[in-house]
Amino acid sequence: MDPVILSYHDVVLRRSDVKLLTAPCWLNDSVIGFAFEYLQKEEFSTCVDSAAFISPEVTQFIKCSYTEDLGSFLEPLELPRKKAIFLAVNDHDELQTSGGSHWSLLLYNRAENTFHHFDSLGKNNLSQARRLAHQLERFLGLGSKTPALIHEESAPSQSNAYDCGVYVICNVLLLGRWLLLGESFPQLSQIVTPAFVTQQRLEWRQLVERLAHGGK
């Protein structure tokens, strides 16, 4: 039995998913999808018209799909209106099967017309990020403009083999506060330390438990 612990908008978390928030576990699509959904609905609820937090499942579809229907699939996301788009990049190459072993963050910043890639394992996912950006750029309403892609060499680095997904969530939180809420630009490598990531794992698990019991 793997009972549902939390149903939150479009995301369902089962007991096995929630357990992944305890180290040393690698976060799956469901947990990262929940975090993105929560950030959009709560932390950045006033920015719903200007930001998109795209779930891992949809991101994988964008990256791997070559169907002509991709444009109609993305139309409800209203990407040409968004000034910031956050995507969790997985290193899995297949659309029909689940898998992968590493997460990174791809951020599109419309003010700069630039994709930024944040990878806690150096350039591990850079080719995947490039592939995703190439797939996405024609749906951003840019006309003939081509966005640049910058790999952030100074992105925070993980010190183990399992925290990549938590690094993605932490980076989204801090970069979102800068881009969407007008806070000072975050020095990510100084903030997103192993200790910070460990604390974030605990806080996200506590949040899930509160929500599951009707809290906020």
Residues carrying an active site annotation: 102, 119, 164
Q: Which residues of 6-31 are buried (b: 16+ CB within 10 A; e: fewer)?
A: beeeebebeeebbebbeeebbbbbbb
Torsion 202-172-164-75 (CA) sign: positive
Q: Are strands 4-8 and 114-118 parallel, antiparallel or unpaired?
A: unpaired
How many Cα atoms occupy the beta-carbon half-sphere of 37 within 13 Å? 19
Burial of 145 per CB tally in 10 Å (0-12, 13-18, 19+): exposed
Residues 65 and 124: their CA atoms lie apart, in Å, by 21
Cis omega (within 30 of 0) for bond into 3: no
Among 153, 128, 158, 154, which Cα is nearest to 59's? Answer: 128
* DSSP label of 186: P
Identify whether the C-beta of residue 210 lies closer than 8 Å to the C-beta of residue 175.
no
Torsion 142-51-34-104 (CA) sign: positive
